Amino acid sequence: MSLDAEKNAVRERVWAALIEAGISTPDARGYIPDFAGSDRAAELLAATAPWRKARTVKANPDTAQLPVRARALADGKVLYMAVPKIASIQPFYLIDPADLSVPPHEAATGRVAATASPRVGVEDMRPIDLVVCGTVAVNRQGVRLGKGAGYSDIEVALLIEEGLVNDDTVIVTTVHSLQVLDEPLPEAEHDFRVDMIVTEQDVITCPRSPRPSGLIWSSMPADKVAAIPVLEARESKRLRS
């Protein structure tokens, strides 16, 4: 079985378990699953030392992490949220709590961010204290599986290359406890691990492990690069140098 097939098998198993238990709705399959208890997970995350120390947070745009994004703004943290599918040469929304014209829970949605928040390129971003990523499955060693599109890995790799994510940056995911598996998970060279898992029940600290040093071009097919403007621009520059 190929690595991709192994990952997909785990995803399908977790999606099925969440749907069967009524933790997620049937349309969760194929996505970062929204889950019952996401508000509680955000509360538990907000009580941790890395959260209290963080001034800048980078988060994924999925519904499962909306409570975390809203809490970041309510707590006065600058929030960077990825543009869906990184489909912009400026791949992040800058959501500054000092500039909100709507409540944090609205400002943190993709719909409002797309119309009310400026897009920024990595060259205009502040260093990131905390990365919040969406996950389908994760284990206690910090190995995570997203939905399979690879966008989170690319976003983190871009930020690493710019020095905006470093060894002091904490990477966390919020998930339902059913998404935490006690088994080895398939992992590729470009995959990053999380440092902390927060569920609706508890906080799990994972062992620190080396992160990818940046973009791994060999892991990205040409059509993926062509579909992501910031990658296409970097690839052209890389080939000219």
pLDDT of residue 152: 95
pLDDT, tens digit, for every residue of 227-238? 999 999 888 877
How do residues 34-93 score in pLDDT, each as one tens digit? 999 999 999 999 999 999 999 999 999 999 999 999 999 999 999 999 999 999 999 999
- Nearest in space to 30 (alpha carbons), one of 44, 19, 22: 19
CA distances from 35 to 22, 26, 113, 171, 177 (A): 9, 11, 22, 20, 10
Q: What are phi and psi of 169, to 5 degrees?
A: -75, 130
Within the chain, what is the greatest distance between any pair of CA atoms? 53
Residue, of 222 and 204, whose pLDDT is higher: 204
The mean pLDDT of 159-186, rounded to a whole number, is: 97
Strand partners, 75: none
CA separation for the pair 110, 199 (Å, rounded): 23
Instruction: Note the pLDDT of residue 159.
Output: 97
Going from the C-alpha of 192 to that of each of 36, 151, 155, 212, the distances in angstroms are: 26, 12, 11, 7
Top CATH class of 3-240 equals alpha beta
Predicted structure pTM score: 0.96
Domain ranges (residues) in the chain: 3-240
| pLDDT over 80 at 239, yes or no | no
Sheet holding 144-145, edge to edge: 144-145, 137-139, 180-181
Task: Tell me the pLDDT tens digit for each residue of 109-167.
Answer: 999 999 999 999 999 999 999 999 999 999 999 999 999 999 999 999 999 999 999 99
Looking at residue 241, its pLDDT comes to: 67
Reported as a pLDDT band with limits 50, 70 and 90, residue 11 is very high
